A and B are shown apart, each in its own frame.
Chain A
Amino acid sequence: MSHCQSPIWSAPAGQATVAVLGMPNTGKSTFFSQLTGSHAHIGNWPGLTVDLLQADLDLEGRPAQLVDLPGIYDLRGHSEDEAVVRRFLESTPIDLVVVILNASQIDRQLRLALQVRQLGLPALLLLNMADEARRFGVVIDAEHLGAELGLPVLLVSAKYRRGLAQARQAMVRQLGGASGPAAPGVAAPPAAIPLLEPLLEAGEPELPGRMAALLAAAVSLPPQWRDRLTRRLDGLLLHPWLGLPLFFLAMALMFQVIYAIGVPLQEALGALLDAFGKGVLTPLLSGLPPFLKGFLLDGLYQGLGTVTAFLPVIFLFFLAMGVVEDSGYLSRAAYLMDAFMERLGLDGRSFVLALMGFGCNVPAILGTRVMRSSGLRLLSMLIIPFSLCSARLNVFLFMAAAFFPARQGGLVIFGLYLMSFAAAIVTALLFKGRFNSSEPLVLELPPYRFPTLRQMLNRAWAEVRHFWFWARRFIVFGVVAVWLLNNLPLGVAPASDASLSGQLGELLQPLLGPIGINPKLTVALVFGFIAKEIVLGGLAVIYGQADPAALGRAVAADVSWTQAVSFMLFTLLYTPCLSTVAVIRSESKRLGFTVFSVVWSFLLAWLVSFGFFQGASLLQQLGVLG
């Protein structure tokens, strides 16, 4: 492993650096967000290639910055996240490490706390999910354990906000009180540890013995597994042949509920926004010159309004995904799908990441970091962009509503989900030979848990805010650009053949004509390369309608249903957005692979749309299809 010389970073004078370290599935992130509220931001750390979540915190007058390190199993481990944590500890002077472990798994997780002790870093140990541990019959004498370890040990339950105040107090004490180190000139400022490995290696032989002694002294484990709920649920949900059908049934039900609640909300919100535009904004802006008025109303407001109407569906989607993830069912999906994924050259984790990609592709691609084998990582990155993300869902919900009656529309959406899976499967089968992997797979299956309502709402809200933040940026840019293309050169009829967008559409006709994409749809697709959020806003501007219902009628009057389906297929399969391309580039560190991924998705999109459109047209000529 190379140790690149990174600049030594230090916090502003007086500000303490507190690192939060823990194993995966210990509720570390929950603790972090409960402690810091919504003030966390992404920080860029020198020497690290990844961004870490951090937040400023006032610890009884002592300013501190809390850094959320990636969840790791072992400070000596070989995964990328483990290397990130090592590099962070080697390059950053740290005042306090808050180690978070899952209390009910203290029998194995104590190891990480001992490794931190070996490094001699000032530390505090929080045993999270203490409620669960008690329920499972794990009894921990925290005081005794603390005395043996030589650091404060607290039992907490971050999810239910229990023990957080005490944890905060302990952090203050460990940092030397409110005023900082007792005697400023005397206490040595913290120094980074230049090399962790020699210290850890030296301590390794005595680890098992130390662990066994500590567990014997301070922990009492139940003779038998007590989690009857998990045992029973797994008997059904992981059943050798009932498990998978139940999983797909659960997913199908989830989507049904999302649409059943979300679509009426979306229609109501769309109508409301349209009424506001017509009733309030139009009279308000009537004094402006027509060009500027058109730009603000027909461009910006319509574009933003159309996408805003879809926020309720996105909120519900993230809410449901959050429940599935936090309940522990998502890890079971990895178990259920692994045999199938193995035959595609992937594994259960790839499936889970592709599923997360249905929310947004970007974090799903970042999630491939847990994989060590580069072949497996690249192949996973190749299939994730085919996951029908929430931005594309906007477009499909809209098109399906515009072109099909409700019942058929639902089937079209379902078909697009199937196509999304099919594209990923075909891609994996075609290229698994080029991205070989024999990476072992060992994953934890956590007990089933009931997520709290508050936690779920917070999370879904944060996701929607994130979506809206990105969407707004892209939409404002995209909508402005589309509007300008439609209305330049000055004096042309908007979006006519003479306008820039008309010319662009004509230029690409030889390529997109055969798949049924007319010049107007072409402009939407071109901008959709930047982000799918623009597609709908762009269509709103091109057709001059903001209310989704009115826009739907305008589009339906202009293109046939076969053209619309071809447009949807192309939108589903070609490059999801520039952010995804950027993150593939930064995660794969290979330009060639990134180009390949983009070119392949375009090719597949074109071929599938071509096949559909020409096939459907032929059937229509033969009179088989309406």
Chain B
Amino acid sequence: MRTVPLLADLVPGQSATIASLAADSGLGQRLAALGLRPGQRVELLRRASWGGPLHLRVGMTELMLRRRDAARVGITALGGAA
């Protein structure tokens, strides 16, 4: 079985394109409103310690997102630092 790369797998400095959102409609809408939608380029800036949230940049917006929730976002095309 092939596993899809997830947003939670990125390492700081890496960027990728969002492929899918496996979120319920509430979270999906919130993510979309903040710019996290399929086709968008996203960059991981850093991870908080102790299993804390991720610090992301999408377009002109910076966000924090819990790892648990980032594991519901599928990505394609892992890339180097933007």
Contact = CB atoms under 8 A, between A and B. Distances in A.
Chain A partners chain B? yes
A211 B37 CA distance: 13
B33 interface: yes
A240 B53 contact: no
Contacts of B61: 105, 107-108, 444
A154 interface: no
B30 A342 contact: no
Interface in A95-112: 104-108, 111
Interface string A220-232: 0100110000100
Q: Contact size class for A? A: 35 or more
A224 to B, nearest CB: 7
Contact of B52 (A208, A339, A443): A339
A77 B30 contact: yes
B59 A340 contact: no
B33 A74 contact: yes
A441 interface: yes
B47 A335 contact: no
B34 interface: yes
Q: Contact size class for B? A: 35 or more
Given A234-B45, A335-B52, A77 B63 contact: no
A335 B26 contact: no
Nearest to A347: B66
B48 interface: yes
Contacts of B66: 338, 342, 347, 440-442
Interface in B34-62: 34-37, 45-53, 55, 57-62
B53 to A, nearest CB: 5
A348 interface: yes
A442 B60 contact: no
A612 interface: no
A182 B41 CA distance: 48
Contact of B60 (A78, A136, A334, A372): A136
Interface in A63-97: 73-74, 76-78
A376 B64 CA distance: 18
Nearest to B53: A338
A339 B64 contact: no
A614 to B, nearest CB: 37
B23 interface: yes
Contacts of B57: 225
B46 to A, nearest CB: 6
- Residue in A136, A340, A445 with the greatest tally of chain B CB atoms within 10 Å: A445
A111 B48 contact: no
B64 A445 contact: yes
A338 B64 contact: yes
- Residue in B30, B51, B60, B65 with the greatest tally of chain A CB atoms within 10 Å: B60
Interface string B59-76: 111111110110000000
Contacts of A225: 57, 60
Interface in B5-21: none
B29 A76 contact: yes
B49 A240 contact: yes
A395 interface: no
Interface string A336-349: 10111010000110
Given A78-B29, A441-B69, 19 more contacts: A77-B26, A105-B59, A107-B59, A111-B33, A221-B59, A221-B60, A234-B46, A238-B55, A240-B46, A240-B49, A338-B64, A339-B53, A340-B50, A342-B66, A348-B64, A372-B26, A441-B64, A444-B61, A445-B64
Interface of A: 23, 73-74, 76-78, 104-108, 111, 136, 138, 208, 221, 224-225, 230, 234, 238, 240-241, 243, 331, 334-336, 338-340, 342, 347-348, 372, 440-447
A-B residue pairs, 9 tightest by C-beta: A339-B52, A73-B33, A108-B35, A240-B49, A440-B69, A339-B50, A78-B26, A107-B59, A445-B62
